[in-house]
Amino acid sequence: MQSERLSSPLPLARAWLWLAAVPLWWLVYLQLTPLSDALFALLPLSRADALGEAVYFFIFEVPKVLLLLTAVVFVMGVVRSYFSAEHTRALLAGRAEGVGNVLAALLGVVTPFCSCSAVPLFIGFLSAGVPLGVTLSFLIAAPMVNEIALGLLFAMFGWKIAALYLGLGLAVAMLAGWIIGRLKLEGWVEDWVLARPKTAASVSDAGLHWRERIDAGQDAVVDIVGKVWPYVLLGIAAGAGIHGYVPADFMAGLMGREAWWSVPLAVLFGVPMYSNAAGIIPVVEALLSKGAALGTVLAFMMSVIALSFPEMVILRKVLKPQLIATFIAVVAAGILLVGYVFNLVL
Amino acid sequence: MKIQILGSGCQKCQKLAEYATQAADELGLDYTLEKITDPGTIVDMGVMQTPALAVDGVVKLAGHLAGVEALKPLLRG
């Protein structure tokens, strides 16, 4: 396909500026505590009272979260410039189930994806001979392992939780796609999609200049961070607000580990809810800090992000209602399992 | 010339149509703008990722948005 990126790569000076920003970023990140301490010292507040503690929390968390989010989004943008839907399709075409599901889920994370492209992607994959279950593994992984969620989890809870989220998201995508493939549900794909002529999966890899890859990272930062920062501020402000005022075990009875019914309930509430990752993470943070169990909260988050009503409406164009229902059921079951396993292990 | 915007009508597709119109107007091109929303047609044109832009049937941009200035060389041909 003759898709050209921007006609000319980023000016050299600006590309170098981005590279020079890396050590600067690191320096600021390492000095966050003294910097926020110094800033806080300028205010007539004390960390001994609830208000001071809330303000300090805000001053410290905002730069930290924005720095980490920018870094993750930038790196993801550069990584994704190495992948394209055509490339992914060629890698998946004719691949056996099993291996195909694993590969599809992994590629789903790194291939640029927008949920409004779900339908052309679905048709394009199927008509190039990518099995239905493998295609669905890709379509589940792409929204489920979300770079904003990954970046924010990393920023707020550390790399272990972020890695866990990544691993579990991949596991659900692989498993759900594999199960749907085993069920042989091709008949529940809309007839007009199946009737389309088969096409060969071909790639014309242009090979980008390194400056164009930096450019892709910059695009991602401008696009994503530029859009979600108000939600992040709002979320941290809410988190700071309830920091001192809501009792720490407030959620423990409702969403704690002891309540077995809390995981299915979380998924049940999460599926019809629709929010972008930036909106949901602060809620996650608040729930966790008030005693909710991690598995329950992750299950809630995953069902909100991965199963969204607008995406189902989009997919309805190519999937019959039975397959949509199966899709939701299988993914929800996978998320349920993740929630229980998490609560058991931790 | 015929400028085609490929996409389901999502926010990014509308932005692309808007930018393409502005770029074409600033270049003083004689053009018609067509929006292609049917997924079958989009795939037939070789596009899997929207928003996409085609000029006289040739796909020039796919999978992401581009600004007015970046679009001009693509439209000029």
Q: Do A6 and B46 touch (CB under 8 A)?
A: no
Any domain includes A4: no
Q: What is the per-residue pLDDT for A263? A: 87
Nearest by CB to residue A6, choosing from B43, B48, B70, is: B70
Nearest residue in chain A measured CA to CA from B45: A1
Q: What is the per-residue pLDDT for B17? A: 93
Closest CA to A174 of A138, A206, A202: A138
Any domain includes A3: no
Q: Do A7 and B74 touch (CB under 8 A)?
A: yes
pLDDT digits (tens, 9 = 90+) for A328-343: 998 899 889 888 888 8
Q: What is the per-residue pLDDT for A6? A: 44
Cβ-Cβ contacts under 8 Å, B74 against chain A: 4, 7
Q: What is the per-residue pLDDT for A205? A: 53
A6 vs chain B: nearest CA distance in angstroms? Answer: 6
For the CA atoms of A70, A78, A130, B55, what is the dihedral angle to 10 degrees?
Answer: 100
Q: Rounded mean pLDDT of A199-211?
A: 67
pLDDT at A243 over 60: yes
Distance separating alpha carbons of residues A113 and A84, to the nearest angstrom: 9
Q: What percent of chain A has pLDDT over 70?
A: 88
Locate A156 and state its tokens. 């707020």
Q: What is the per-residue pLDDT for A132? A: 94
Q: Does B15 touch chain A (CB under 8 A)?
A: no
Helices (H), chain A: 12-30, 32-41, 50-80, 85-92, 99-110, 118-127, 132-144, 147-157, 159-182, 191-194, 210-220, 226-243, 252-255, 262-270, 277-289, 294-306, 309-315, 321-345
Any domain includes A1: no
Q: What is the per-residue pLDDT for A252? A: 67
pLDDT at A5 over 50: no
pLDDT at A275 over 90: no
Q: Which residue has the higher pLDDT, A227 or A326?
A: A326
Distance separating alpha carbons of residues A119 and A107, to the nearest angstrom: 17
Task: Give residue A155's pLDDT band: very low, low, confident or very high (50, 70, 90).
Answer: confident
Q: Do B43 and A120 touch (CB under 8 A)?
A: yes
Q: Which residue has the higher pLDDT, A278 or A81?
A: A81
ipTM of the complex in this document: 0.82
pLDDT at A4 over 60: no
Contact partners, residue A232, CB within 8 Å, separation at least 6: A62, A65, A66, A69, A152, A278, A282
DSSP state of A189: B
Task: Give residue A202's pLDDT band: very low, low, confident or very high (50, 70, 90).
Answer: low
B13 part of the active site: yes
Q: What is the per-residue pLDDT for A133? A: 94
Q: What is the per-residue pLDDT for A19? A: 82
pLDDT digits (tens, 9 = 90+) for A62-94: 888 889 889 988 998 888 888 888 889 999 988
Q: What is the per-residue pLDDT for A1? A: 38
Any domain includes A203: no
Report the side by side order of strands in the sheet with B58-62: B32-36, B2-6, B52-55, B58-62
Any domain includes A6: no
Q: Is-contact B6 B48, C-beta < 8 A?
A: no
Q: Do A120 and B50 touch (CB under 8 A)?
A: yes
Cβ-Cβ contacts under 8 Å, A114 against chain B: 10, 12, 49-50, 63
Any domain includes A205: no
pLDDT at B34 over 80: yes
pLDDT at A285 over 80: no
Q: Does B19 touch chain A (CB under 8 A)?
A: no
Q: Rounded mean pLDDT of A286-311?
A: 82
Q: Rounded mean pLDDT of A241-249?
A: 66
Q: Which of residues 74-93 of A touch B (CB under 8 A)?
A: 84-86, 89
Task: Give residue B36's pLDDT band: very low, low, confident or very high (50, 70, 90).
Answer: very high
Q: What is the per-residue pLDDT for B5? A: 93
**Domains of chain B, earliest start first:** 2-76 (3.40.30.10)
Distance separating alpha carbons of residues B62 and B51, to the nearest angstrom: 6
Nearest by CB to residue A120, choosing from B47, B58, B70, is: B47
pLDDT at A7 over 50: no
How many H helices and E strands in chain B?
3, 4
Highest mean pLDDT among A18-32, A109-123, A178-192: A178-192
Instruction: Spot the catalytic one: B3, B5, B13, B62.
Output: B13
Number of domains in chain A: 1
Give the residue numbers spanning the domain of A163.
Answer: 12-197+210-345
Q: What is the per-residue pLDDT for A203? A: 58
pLDDT at A148 over 90: no
Q: What is the per-residue pLDDT for A314? A: 83
B18 vs chain A: nearest CA distance in angstroms? Answer: 17
Nearest residue in chain B measured CA to CA from A127: B43
Distance separating alpha carbons of residues A165 and A302, to the nearest angstrom: 9
Burial class (CB in 10 A: 0-12, 13-18, 19+), A110: middle
B10 part of the active site: yes
H or E stretch covering B23 = helix B11-27
Any domain includes A2: no
Q: Which residue has the higher pLDDT, B6 or A7?
A: B6
A2 vs chain B: nearest CA distance in angstroms? Answer: 6
Any domain includes A23: yes
Highest mean pLDDT among A29-33, A252-256, A286-290: A29-33
pLDDT at A136 over 90: yes
Nearest residue in chain A measured CA to CA from B10: A116
Q: Do A4 and B50 touch (CB under 8 A)?
A: no
Q: Rounded mean pLDDT of A265-269?
A: 84
Nearest by CB to residue B73, choosing from A7, A113, A219, is: A7
Distance separating alpha carbons of residues A220 and A20, to the nearest angstrom: 18
Q: What is the mean pLDDT of chain A?
A: 83
Nearest by CB to residue B10, choosing from A7, A86, A116, is: A116
Nearest by CB to residue B48, choosing from A6, A86, A196, is: A86
pLDDT at A135 over 60: yes
